[in-house]
């Protein structure tokens, strides 16, 4: 079983988690070979979109993949000719599409190129149900499945020492700065601002926010992506708020915080009761007051109790919300459909690991 991945990365191997996942699947015998095309890198190097379409067709003609997986293509215009060509390859590949962004109008509508491409794929994997799924359903997409945002083992570190704790509560997240007034009026953006300034008044120097665009005594400036666990280990509790909103949706900031081993207070999204039936200890709020009540409750616990909650979250995330788990699910779905199409199995049914029904059911 061979898989060809068209990956949105600005330099080869920048998304090390994807390469790691492919190596893992190969080691487990789920795939035999893989090839990754870092298409954004090629575009930055001067390749035109038309020539990139040709490049992808040429590579697939030589590699003859059983599975093709497009990843977050955004406004890359994949022609009908390219899709038709790939579908007619001698290997008769199954084609999948994954996106880690939750586009939302009028703040950030999904590019028409993305919708056209995804609608022609056999299976689409999205991290939440919102207007993108609805638009694809209207275009006739027959199989849309939920996969969560994910972290990876680089953030898994459960050893939190009391002497290193500087804050009671920390948030990692940017303050959206935009000339587009719609983006500034996003529900998640407004809630994030209200919570941050409320918590700042309540906690003073014991509250910290890391990210771009914040002003105030709580603002600690931006941090590197790989430094997030170090920040979480400086605090008793983390609070997180989605900018975008969608059924089941949470950003990769949640699994990263969970892997870091810190208790988390997170805004509620529709579908969370279903998604988190086996809740490992996350606290969800629907208002600023409820966020503060849950935070006070956690802060009333001693450090051993707090660390125990964080430990349970980290173990859950390690077993359910890493790149290895998510890619294993996606590739198994695509692989089984490929085998079914080739008459090698009678049925194809891979149960969603997170107990979320297909968006097309």
Q: What is the pLDDT of residues 207-253, one digit of tens each?
A: 999 999 999 999 999 999 999 999 999 999 999 999 888 999 999 99
In which element (H, E) is residue 112 found? helix 112-119
Distance (Å, rounded) from C-alpha 349 to C-alpha 315? 27
Greatest CA separation found in the chain? 65
SS (H, E, C) 286-339: CCHHHHHHHHHHHHCCCHHHHHHHHHHHHHHHHHHCEHHHHHHHHHHHHHHHHH
Q: Tell me the C-alpha distance between 76 and 52, whole Å.
A: 10
Asked if 98 and 177 sit in the same domain, the reply is no
* pLDDT tens readout for residues 274-300: 999 999 999 999 999 999 999 999 999
CATH number at residue 143: 3.40.50.2300
Question: SS3 of 110, please?
Answer: coil
Range of the structural domain that residue 43 is part of: 2-149+322-341
Q: Are residues 135 and 161 both part of a single domain? A: no
In a domain, 360, yes or no: no
**pLDDT digits over 30-47, tens only?**
999 999 999 999 999 999
Q: Kind of pairing, strands 33-38 and 235-240?
A: unpaired
- Establish if 361 belongs to a structural domain: no
Backbone angles phi and psi of 35, in degrees to 5: -140, 135
Give residues with Cβ within 8 angstroms of 357, minimum separation 6: none
Do 332 and 232 have their domain in common? no
Smallest CA-to-CA distance from 119 within 156, 83, 75, 162 is with: 83
Residues 65 and 129 in one domain: yes
Domain shared by 141 and 160, yes or no: no
Tell whether 180 and 257 lie within a shared domain: yes
Q: 350 in a domain, yes or no?
A: no
Paired tokens of 192? 């994030």
Q: How many CB atoms lie within 10 A of CB 338?
A: 24
Do residue 10 and residue 143 come from a single domain?
yes
Answer whether residue 347 is part of any domain.
no
- pLDDT digits over 74-113, tens only? 999 999 999 999 999 999 999 999 999 989 888 889 999 9
Contact assessment for residue 192 and residue 218, using Cβ atoms and an 8 Å cutoff: no
pTM: 0.94
Q: Are residues 213 and 71 in the same domain?
A: no
Q: Does residue 237 fall inside a structural domain?
A: yes
Determine the 3-state secondary structure of 51 from DSSP. Answer: helix
Question: Nearest-CA neighbor of 323 among 97, 149, 202, 205?
Answer: 149
Query: Angle, nearest 10°, between helix axes 80-87 and 49-63?
Result: 0
CB 283, CB 265: distance < 8 Å: yes
Specify if 356 maps to a domain.
no
**Does the pLDDT value for residue 185 go beyond 90?**
no
> Does 235 lie in the same domain as 116?
no
Output the domain CATH number for residue 190: 3.40.50.2000
Q: Considering its fold, how many domains does the chain have in total? A: 2
Instruction: Please tell me whether residues 214 and 108 are part of one structural domain.
Output: no
Q: Both 79 and 175 in a single domain?
A: no
């Amino acid at each position: 079983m061979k898989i060809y991945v068209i990956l949105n990365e600005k330099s080869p191997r920048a998304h090390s988690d994807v390469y790691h996942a492919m190596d893992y699947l190969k080691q487990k015998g789920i795939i035999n070979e893989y090839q990754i095309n870092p298409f954004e890198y090629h575009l930055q190097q001067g390749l035109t979109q038309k020539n990139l379409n040709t490049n992808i067709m040429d590579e697939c003609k030589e590699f003859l993949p059983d599975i093709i997986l497009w990843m977050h293509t955004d406004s890359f215009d994949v022609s009908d000719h390219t899709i038709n060509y790939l579908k007619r390859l001698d290997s008769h590949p199954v084609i999948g599409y994954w996106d880690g962004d939750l586009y939302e109008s009028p703040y950030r509508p999904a590019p028409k190129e993305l919708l056209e491409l995804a609608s022609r794929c056999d299976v689409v994997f999205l991290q939440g149900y919102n207007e993108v799924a609805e638009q694809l359903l209207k275009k006739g997409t027959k199989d849309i499945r939920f996969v969560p945002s994910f972290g990876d083992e680089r953030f898994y570190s459960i050893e939190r020492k009391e002497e290193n704790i500087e804050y009671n509560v920390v948030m990692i997240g940017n303050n959206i700065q935009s000339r587009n007034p719609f983006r500034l009026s996003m529900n998640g953006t407004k809630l994030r601002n209200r919570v941050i300034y409320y918590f700042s008044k309540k906690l003073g120097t014991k509250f910290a926010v890391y990210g771009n665009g914040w002003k105030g005594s709580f603002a600690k400036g931006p941090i590197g992506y790989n430094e997030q666990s170090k920040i979480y280990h400086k605090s008793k509790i983390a609070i997180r708020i989605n900018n975008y909103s969608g059924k089941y949706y949470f950003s990769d900031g949640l699994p990263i915080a969970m892997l870091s081993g810190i208790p988390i207070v997170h805004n509620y999204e529709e579908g969370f009761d279903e998604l988190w039936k086996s809740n490992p200890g996350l606290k969800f709020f629907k208002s600023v007051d409820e966020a503060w009540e849950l935070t006070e409750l956690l802060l009333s616990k001693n450090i051993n109790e707090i660390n125990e909650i964080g430990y349970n979250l980290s173990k859950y995330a390690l077993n359910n919300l890493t790149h290895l788990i998510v890619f294993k699910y996606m590739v198994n779905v695509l692989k089984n459909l490929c085998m079914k199409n080739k008459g090698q199995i009678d049925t194809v049914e891979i149960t969603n690991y997170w107990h979320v029904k297909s968006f097309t059911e």
